[in-house]
A and B are shown apart, each in its own frame.
Chain A
Amino acid sequence: MIVLGRLSLTLALILALASIVFLALGMRGDRKDLLRNGYYAVYGFFLATVIASAVLLQAFLTGDFGFAYVAENSDSTLPAFYRVAGFWAGQQGSFLFWLLLVAIVAVVIAALDLTRVERLTAGAVMVICVVGAVFTALMVLDKGSNPFIAAEAGTQPFGLNPLLLHPGMVLHPPALFIGYVGLTVPFAFGISTLLLGRADKEWVRRSQKWAVAGWLFLTLGIGLGAWWAYVVLSFGGYWAWDPVENTSLVPWLTATALLHAFTLYKARGLFKRWALGLAAATFFLTILATWTTRTGLISSVHAFGRNDLLVLILSSLLVLTAVASAGLMAWRWRRFESHDEVESLLSRDFLYYLTNLLLTLFAAAVAIGTVAVPLLFERTVGASTYDVIAQPLGVVTLLLIAVCPLLAWRKTEGAPLRRTLILPAVTAALSVPLWLAMGFQSSIWGVLGLVVCGFAFGAVLQFVLRSARRAAGPGRSLWAGLGRAFTGSRTRTAAFVIHMGMVLVVAGLLGSALYKTESSALVSTKAGGEGSDLVTDDGSYTLKYTGMRSEPGSQSSQRTYAAFDVLHDQARVGTVEPHTDIYPVSGAAVRAVILGGWGHDLFVVADEPFDESSDSIALRVVTFPLIRFVWLGSILLCVGAVVSLWPRGRTQEQEARVTVPAPGAETDRATA
C-alpha cells in the first residue's frame, strides 16, 4: 500500500504540472481546447490525490503500523474517531490533507467552468495548481514530509499525544487548513485578473464566497484552538501569543480586511488595489503560518526537526508569492485605480478605509513581532507587549465597527448622525453601572474599553433598527421591517450578526484579560489537618478539600482526582475535581476543571502533578470574568459567515442588489 500511496503522489505531481502547462499555454493563446485539457488534467490531479489520501486513511483505520507515519500518530487502542484524527496529527499527513483540500477546490472550480471555459477562471485554477504542485513536490522530495515511508522493523506505535485527545483539537487543524485553502482562492483569482489586466469586479464576484468560507473556517479553527487551550492545556488561558497562534491570527486579520475591501470593490469600485494586495497578503500569510510551524525556525528554542529541504521549498513558495504578486501589481497599477474616492473623513467610506488600515497594521505588527524580530534581531516579543498593542487597537477597531454602518456613504450630515448615536450613547451609559457592579474598576483603560463595548452594542442594535425602518417603508410596522431587514441582503444580515459577535468577543477578551484574579496556596491533604482549604485573595471563594480518588484513564493512564467543595460568599455552589493523569510512557499532566458562569468562570488547577500519596496539593484558582462571551461571540461570528454563504432565492437576489444612492440621499432617509 505504501507503494500505491507514493505512486499516486508522483502521479499527482505530474498531472498538476501538466495542468499548469496546458492552462498557461491556453491562457496565452486564448485557446479553449488547451484550457479544457488543463481542466481534465486537474481532474486527474484530484483523483490521484484522493487515492493517496484513501490509502493513508485506510492505513489509520486498519492500524497498519508498517507506515512510519501511522505508527507515530496512532496505536491500536484508539477509538476510530481519534484514529481518523491521526491523519492530520503530524506534519506529513497534514501536508497531504492540505493537498487534498487544494485538489478539491481546484476540481470544483474547474468543473463549474467546464462548459464555458473562461480565461479568468482558468488562470485561477492554474495558480491553485501551482500551489498544489509545490506541496506535492515537497512530499515527494522531502522524506520528513512524506507520509508514505515504511516504518523501521520493530517500531512500536507511539500513539496520539494524550493532550490532543479532545474534540476541539481533532477539529482545530482541519478547520484551519480549510480556512487557509479557502483563502487561496481570492489570491488565485487576483493573480489571474492581474495577468489578464481585467480591472472589473468579476474576479471578486467569483472568489467572494470562497473568501467568506475561508474566513469562517479560519475563525472556527482559531476558536476551537483557544477553547482547547483553555479546557485541556490548563495553562490558565486561551491565548498565549505563541508563534503558532499568532501566525493563524495574522491571516485572519487580513482576511477580515479583505472581506470589507471586497464589499466596497463590488459596491463602489473603491479599494481595488487594497483588495488585490490583501488577497495576496492573506495567502502569503497562510503559507508563512505553515512555514513558521513546520520549519521550527521560530517556535522552538533549539531548532530540532529543522529540515533544510523543507525550509528551502516553503521559503521558495513564499518568495514566489511575494515577487509574483508585487510584480504583477506594479505592472497593472494604473489600471486598478479606484473609480471613486473618499470625499469626507466623516463618511462610511473613510471608516471602512480606517478599519482596513488598522487591521492591516495590527496584522503587520503581529507578523513582524512573531517572525522578523526573532529572526533578524534575536529578540522575542512577549505576551505583555502584544497585549499592549492589541487592547487599544481592538477597542478602536470596535468603535469603528460600531459607527461605520451608521454613517452615510460619501458624507454624513451632523444632525441625523447625532440622532442615530442616541441609542448607542444610552447603552454605553447604561453599561457603566453594570461594569462597575461587576467589579471592573481597577483599570481605566479596561472600563473605557468595556464602555465602548456597551456603545457598540447599542450601535449594532441601531444598525438593525434603522435597516428595519427602511425596509418597512413609511406607514408599515417596524416588525414587518425587522423581518425584511434580516431576510433582505445576506451581507447585511451577516454584518449584524458578526458585528454583534465582535462586540461580545471584545468584551469577553477585555474582561477575562484585564480582570482575571489568581490565588494559589499549598493545600494540605491530611485528614482533619490545618490548612486544608484555599480562600481566594478577595475572599469571595473558599475551596475546602474533601478527599481524593483514583481510576484508570485512557491510554492505560491513572487519573487521580482531588475533590474540593466550592463556597461562594459562604454558600456552597458546587464541587470541583482537578486531576492529574499519569501516563506510563509520556509522564504526567495536570488537568484543570472549570466551574462556568456568565459573570465569570472559576478555573481550578493543581500547579504540579499529585497522586494519592501526596501530602499537599499546590492549588491555583483563577477567575476569568466574561469569558463565556468570547465563546458566544465566536459562535456568532461563524453563524454570521454561514448566513452570508446561505444561497438565496431569486427575489432576494434582486432586492439585495447594492444600489449606491446619490450624495445626500442616504442622509435624507436616515432622518425619516
Chain B
Amino acid sequence: MNKKSRTRLLVATGVIVVVFVIAVVFLVQRQGAYYRQVADLTTGQYDGKNVKVGGRVVDGTIARDDDGVSFVIQDLTGKDATVEVTYDGQMPGTFEPGVDVVVIGQYASAAGVLTADELQTKCPSKYEGQASPAAQPGQ
C-alpha cells in the first residue's frame, strides 16, 4: 500500500468532512427554529428568536391587505393561548379558518406578533393521520 497516497486521501477526506460539519452546525445554530407550542411563547423566553409553532387558525381572525395576511392561531395542546401571525408569502392552497398550520418565523413579545417566513398547512395526504373522526375508527 502506497503510504503517501493514502495519507493524502485521508487528509483530503478529513478537511472536507470537518469543513462540512462546521458549516452545518453553524447554520443550524444560527437558523434552526425552536419547536414550541403557542402557550410557550407568552413566557417571553423566545423574544426575537426563530420559532416554529403549530396552531389552529381561529375563525373570523383572517385579515388581508396588500401587504399580506394576518390571523390568530390557537394552541393545540389544549391550553387557552393564542398568538397573532403576520405573513406575506405564498399561501398554501388549503389555508382556511379552522385548519392546523405550522408557522416558522420570529416572535416579538412586545407586540405579541409572530412574523412568519414560512407557513404550511398540514400535509393533505393521509399518511400523517387526518384529524377526521371517520379516518380513525379503530382508535
A-to-B contact residues, CB < 8 Å: 68, 71-73, 89-91, 94, 143-144, 149, 151-152, 155-156, 158, 161, 163-164, 169, 232-237, 240, 242, 244, 293-294, 296, 299-302, 304-305, 341-345, 350, 353-354, 357-358, 361, 365, 368-369, 373-374, 377-385, 388-389, 518, 520-522, 586-592, 605, 607-609, 618, 620, 622
* CB of B136 within 8 Å of the partner chain: yes
A-side contacts of B28, CB under 8 Å: 369, 373, 379, 381, 385
* CB of B92 within 8 Å of the partner chain: yes
Total cross-chain contacts (CB, 8 A): 194
A-side contacts of B89, CB under 8 Å: 236, 518
B-side contacts of A520, CB under 8 Å: 66, 88
| Interface contact B126-A73, CB-CB below 8 Å | yes
Smallest CB separation, A384 vs chain B (Å): 6
Partner of B5, one of A155, A233, A341: A341
A-side contacts of B2, CB under 8 Å: 341, 343
| Interface contact B134-A299, CB-CB below 8 Å | no
Smallest CB separation, A556 vs chain B (Å): 16
Contact (A235, B92) CB under 8 Å given A144-B138, A302-B77, A385-B32: yes
B-side contacts of A149, CB under 8 Å: 137-138
Q: Name 15 extra pairs, CB < 8 A, besides A91-B129, A164-B125.
A: A90-B126, A90-B127, A161-B126, A164-B126, A235-B120, A236-B89, A301-B76, A357-B17, A382-B117, A384-B117, A385-B27, A521-B66, A608-B91, A609-B96, A618-B69
| Interface contact A605-B93, CB-CB below 8 Å | yes
* CB of B80 within 8 Å of the partner chain: no
Partner of A144, one of B33, B94, B104, B139: B139
CA gap between A244 and B23 in the complex, in Å: 24
| Interface contact B66-A382, CB-CB below 8 Å | no
Interface centre among B33, B34, B117, B123 (most CB of A within 10 A): B123
Closest-by-CB residue of B relative to A68 is: B137
| Interface contact B123-A72, CB-CB below 8 Å | no
| Interface contact A381-B137, CB-CB below 8 Å | no
| Interface contact B20-A380, CB-CB below 8 Å | no
Smallest CB separation, B79 vs chain A (Å): 12
* CB of B135 within 8 Å of the partner chain: yes
CA gap between A384 and B127 in the complex, in Å: 25
| Interface contact B138-A590, CB-CB below 8 Å | no
| Interface contact B76-A302, CB-CB below 8 Å | yes
A-side contacts of B95, CB under 8 Å: 607-608
Closest-by-CB residue of A relative to B29 is: A379
A-side contacts of B24, CB under 8 Å: 365, 368-369, 389
Partner of A378, one of B12, B27, B34, B99: B34
Closest-by-CB residue of A relative to B132 is: A158
CA gap between A300 and B77 in the complex, in Å: 13
| Interface contact A622-B31, CB-CB below 8 Å | no
CA gap between A627 and B123 in the complex, in Å: 23
| Interface contact B128-A296, CB-CB below 8 Å | yes
Partner of B104, one of A68, A90, A382: A382
Contact (A234, B93) CB under 8 Å given A379-B32, A379-B34, A381-B32: yes
Helix, strand, loop or mixed for chain B's interface? mixed
Partner of B32, one of A377, A388, A587: A377
Contact (A522, B66) CB under 8 Å given A151-B137, A357-B13, A380-B35: yes
B-side contacts of A521, CB under 8 Å: 66
Smallest CB separation, B97 vs chain A (Å): 9
B-side contacts of A587, CB under 8 Å: 94, 96, 98-99
| Interface contact B93-A590, CB-CB below 8 Å | yes
Smallest CB separation, A278 vs chain B (Å): 15
Smallest CB separation, B111 vs chain A (Å): 22
Contact (A300, B129) CB under 8 Å given A155-B137, A620-B91: yes
Partner of A72, one of B27, B93, B117, B135: B135
A-side contacts of B33, CB under 8 Å: 379-380, 382
A-side contacts of B65, CB under 8 Å: 522
Contact (A304, B131) CB under 8 Å given A236-B90, A344-B5, A382-B118: yes
| Interface contact A293-B54, CB-CB below 8 Å | no
| Interface contact A380-B132, CB-CB below 8 Å | no
Task: Bits for B90-121, please: 1 = Cβ < 8 Å to A, else 0.
Answer: 11111110111010100000000000011010
Closest-by-CB residue of B relative to A162 is: B124
Partner of A345, one of B8, B50, B52: B8
* CB of B62 within 8 Å of the partner chain: yes
B-side contacts of A236, CB under 8 Å: 89-90
CA gap between A520 and B68 in the complex, in Å: 9
CA gap between A618 and B120 in the complex, in Å: 18
Interface centre among B12, B50, B117, B138 (most CB of A within 10 A): B138
27 residue pairs from A and B, CB less than 8 Å apart: A71-B134, A72-B126, A143-B139, A149-B137, A158-B134, A163-B125, A301-B100, A302-B76, A341-B2, A353-B9, A354-B12, A357-B13, A358-B16, A361-B16, A377-B32, A378-B36, A381-B32, A382-B31, A382-B32, A382-B52, A384-B117, A389-B23, A589-B94, A592-B93, A607-B95, A608-B96, A609-B96
Contact (A341, B6) CB under 8 Å given A389-B23, A522-B66: yes
What 6 pairs between A and B have smallest CB-CB spacing?
Answer: A305-B129, A301-B54, A234-B93, A236-B90, A379-B32, A607-B91
Closest-by-CB residue of A relative to B6 is: A341
| Interface contact A72-B134, CB-CB below 8 Å | yes
A-side contacts of B130, CB under 8 Å: 161
CA gap between A197 and B88 in the complex, in Å: 60
CA gap between A609 and B132 in the complex, in Å: 21
| Interface contact B123-A299, CB-CB below 8 Å | yes
| Interface contact A591-B129, CB-CB below 8 Å | no
CA gap between A618 and B91 in the complex, in Å: 10
Smallest CB separation, B101 vs chain A (Å): 9
A-side contacts of B136, CB under 8 Å: 305
A-side contacts of B131, CB under 8 Å: 304
A-side contacts of B77, CB under 8 Å: 302
B-side contacts of A152, CB under 8 Å: 137
Smallest CB separation, A283 vs chain B (Å): 20
CA gap between A143 and B138 in the complex, in Å: 7
Closest-by-CB residue of B relative to A607 is: B91
| Interface contact A522-B64, CB-CB below 8 Å | yes
CA gap between A577 and B90 in the complex, in Å: 18
Interface centre among B66, B93, B129 (most CB of A within 10 A): B93
Closest-by-CB residue of B relative to A146 is: B138
